[in-house]
Structure 1
Amino acid sequence: MDGAVEFDTSIPSEDEIRARARALVPFLREQAAEAERARRLPAATIAALQAAGLFRVLQPRRWGGYEMHPNVFYDVLMTLGEGDMSAAWCYGVIGCHPWQLALFDDKAAQDVWGEDTSVLVSSTYMLQGNAQPVDGGYIFNGRWRFSSGCEHCQWIFLGGEVEPGSGNMDMRTFLLPRADYQIVDTWDTLGLKGTGSHDIVVKDAFVPEHRTHKFMDGMMCDSPGNAVNTHPLFRMPHPQVFIRAVSTASIGALQAMLNAFLDYGAKRTTVTGSRTAEDASAQLACAEAASAIDTMKLVLHRNMDTMYRQACAGEFVLLPDRLRYRFQSADVPERCANLALRLFKAGGGAAVFNRLPFARILADIHTGKAHAANQVDSIGRNWGGVMLGLENTDLWI
């Protein structure tokens, strides 16, 4: 098995994995307040996700994973969002890293999983890293923001450039062990408080060549790890898999808000004696949210199904499709934020109290919308410009 660890445990069905995620929703809902107070997910939350095998959904089978269809991963992500968007967000980011690690030279997987296939990897892909070539690798320096769930992980993916300013445009993901970077406690935010997305600092760390992955290789679906990880799953475009990992939690959070509002609104009578269930604005807000959730899920599943089929057939995902998928991913948090705000307003003055989940969910969705991959206006302008005959300026497709 080329150094990979034998894994005898039977692989659950896709439906079983979805059911395990669903069973965790009440637990995550209970843990949400503690996560907010601590500004990180409780260790018990990570342990529950590990015990359910959820981090193995996109992990190579030869390294103890399940190699499931990406839509299983996103279904799990949306379901977890119904319990707590912070937990779902961390799962989305950390849970897609086993998939990217499979794209590295297999020596990197041996470094991470050689003794324990449950080891987790965090990330921040901001191109803040300065990599200077030395014999066998690079001396790496930089400071990054937004490493979600980093306190629960033993390794990290960091974005950087080889000899920045040289004109080489050699952008990569660099893989470092916990001993080679510092976590700086900076996470004090409006929403997604439980993600613990702190800063990362690296000073003069040596990163061997095999622990780097070129952005272009991931975009072209031709990475060193494809030599041993031959499942079509690993021939999908890296940017397209990751962008959905940071937009899809919003769908689950909007579903959580709708569920809570339906329970609340069906019973509520305002101070004027009117019933929320008979309020036309509340009725329409519920209908529009439910319809949008259905539509966003359908588009997500269709796009992933299409790319997966193309990977199975050895076909390349073309630029027009990538730009469309990119916009449709970034548009999700925008739509969810607008729909959540309508539900929040329909809840009246009581919605502002923390005994109800509405304010927390609204803040979480708006915070997720701020991620660089969710900047729908600039992404939409680029796509529209390409349709009008201009050159593409987006490198993360």
Structure 2
Amino acid sequence: VFVREDRTLAVEDTKGGDTHPGAAANPASLFRIPIFATFPYMLTGIALGVAQGAYESVIDGLRGRVARYSGKSLADMTAVQIKIAEAGACIDTARRVMRDHCQTAQALAERGEVPDLLTKVTWRRDGAFTAGLCERAVNVLFKTGGGGALFDDHPLQRAFRDGAAGDDVWTRCARAALRQSDALASRHSPMYSLRIRSLLESSSREAPSYSILP
């Protein structure tokens, strides 16, 4: 298929800043944000919505619900409360991380600054991580639904399937971020390469940092 050159956009022109051909006609900061570095958040927003919907569905469903054998209110059971708390923490953390990076990207674009490659990789990494948090929240909530959550008309089964499908996107983003990091390490000085590899090694042992790296 032939595509005219004036209908194309080079990948190099999507890495942030005002170097792309449409910059003159679209001077707003939105068009200066690097596309691929922030692309995960266009997808993880869906995962966040799925998790939030599942959370609200479970909360509403627990009102007045009792255990079949004991007749005890499920909302008063410690095991259920722990699951609700864990899912809520995952959702709130994912939302804060997403919002923090998106606001930072917007602020940099408004100042006319382009984030460095290590910052872009951090955004990609945390985009993948937040999708995983959302999937974890849905999986935890699904366990509170009992056998009824398996039926087609139950909202949790839909959330569970959507969350599992989103896991593939999360994995792809993580692999892409790691490949980009390896490319960075091979192109820069030994000291810079050591810093990147140290970051990758530490992030595999500890919880990822949510701050923008210098």
Equivalent pairs, count = 186
Q: How many angstroms apart in 1 are the aligned matches of 2:75 and 2:96?
A: 28
Question: Does 2:15 correspond to 1:206?
Answer: no
Deviation of 1:378 after TM superposition, in Å, equals: 2.5
TM-score by length of 1: 0.44
- Classify 1:255/1:296 alpha carbon distance in 2 versus 1 (closer, same or farther; 3 Å): same
Aligned match of 1:375 in 160, 163, 172?
Answer: 172
Structure that is richer in helix per residue: 2
- Name the counterpart of 2:52: 255
Aligned match of 1:330 in 128, 152, 158?
Answer: 128
Question: Does 2:116 correspond to 1:300?
Answer: no
- Name the counterpart of 2:152: 354
Q: How many angstroms apart in 1 are the aligned matches of 2:199 and 2:59?
A: 46
Q: How many angstroms apart in 1 are the aligned matches of 2:106 and 2:121?
A: 17
- Classify 1:255/1:390 alpha carbon distance in 2 versus 1 (closer, same or farther; 3 Å): closer
1:218 partner amino acid: T
Deviating more after overlay: 373-382 vs 224-233: 373-382
- Name the counterpart of 1:243: 40
- Name the counterpart of 2:192: none
- Structure with larger RCO (C-alpha < 8 A, sep 6+): 2
2:78 partner amino acid: A
TM-score by length of 2: 0.78
- Name the counterpart of 2:85: 287
The answer to whether the 8 A contact 2:149-2:157 is kept is yes
The answer to whether the 8 A contact 2:94-2:133 is kept is no
Task: Map Cα deviations across residues 256-286 of structure 1 (whole Å, 9 max, x no partner).
Answer: 0000001112222222224321222221121
Q: How many angstroms apart in 2 are the aligned matches of 1:380 and 1:283?
A: 35
- Name the counterpart of 1:217: 13
- Classify 1:309/1:256 alpha carbon distance in 2 versus 1 (closer, same or farther; 3 Å): same
Deviating more after overlay: 267-276 vs 359-368: 267-276
- Name the counterpart of 1:312: 110
Q: How many angstroms apart in 2 are the aligned matches of 1:255 and 1:220?
A: 31
Q: How many angstroms apart in 2 are the aligned matches of 1:368 and 1:334?
A: 9
Q: How many angstroms apart in 2 are the aligned matches of 1:388 and 1:215?
A: 26
- Name the counterpart of 2:190: none
Task: Map Cα deviations across residues 309-339 of structure 1 (whole Å, 9 max, x no partner).
Answer: 1111111101221111101111122111122
Task: Map Cα deviations across residues 33-87 of structure 1 (whole Å, 9 max, x no partner).
Answer: xxxxxxxxxxxxxxxxxxxxxxxxxxxxxxxxxxxxxxxxxxxxxxxxxxxxxxx
- Name the counterpart of 1:339: 137
Written as runs of structure 1 = structure 2, the 5 A alignment for 1:147-296 is 205-221=1-17, 222-273=19-70, 274-296=72-94
Structure that is richer in strand per residue: 1
Deviation of 1:216 after TM superposition, in Å, equals: 1.4
Task: Map Cα deviations across residues 166-203 of structure 1 (whole Å, 9 max, x no partner).
Answer: xxxxxxxxxxxxxxxxxxxxxxxxxxxxxxxxxxxxxx
The answer to whether the 8 A contact 1:219-1:237 is kept is yes
Deviation of 1:375 after TM superposition, in Å, equals: 2.7
Deviation of 1:243 after TM superposition, in Å, equals: 2.0
The answer to whether the 8 A contact 2:29-2:110 is kept is yes
Q: How many angstroms apart in 2 are the aligned matches of 1:350 and 1:384?
A: 44
Deviation of 1:356 after TM superposition, in Å, equals: 1.6
Q: How many angstroms apart in 2 are the aligned matches of 1:389 and 1:267?
A: 51
Cα-Cα RMSD: 2.3
Q: Secondary structure at the match of 1:346?
A: coil
- Classify 1:389/1:356 alpha carbon distance in 2 versus 1 (closer, same or farther; 3 Å): closer
- Name the counterpart of 1:388: 197
Q: How many angstroms apart in 2 are the aligned matches of 1:305 and 1:208?
A: 35
Q: Secondary structure at the match of 2:39?
A: helix
The answer to whether the 8 A contact 1:329-1:374 is kept is no
Task: Map Cα deviations across residues 344-385 of structure 1 (whole Å, 9 max, x no partner).
Answer: 1121111111222000011012112213x6535535655886
Q: How many angstroms apart in 1 are the aligned matches of 2:5 and 2:15?
A: 19
The answer to whether the 8 A contact 2:101-2:123 is kept is yes
- Classify 1:335/1:379 alpha carbon distance in 2 versus 1 (closer, same or farther; 3 Å): farther
Identity percentage over the alignment?
26
Written as runs of structure 1 = structure 2, the 5 A alignment for 1:134-149 is none
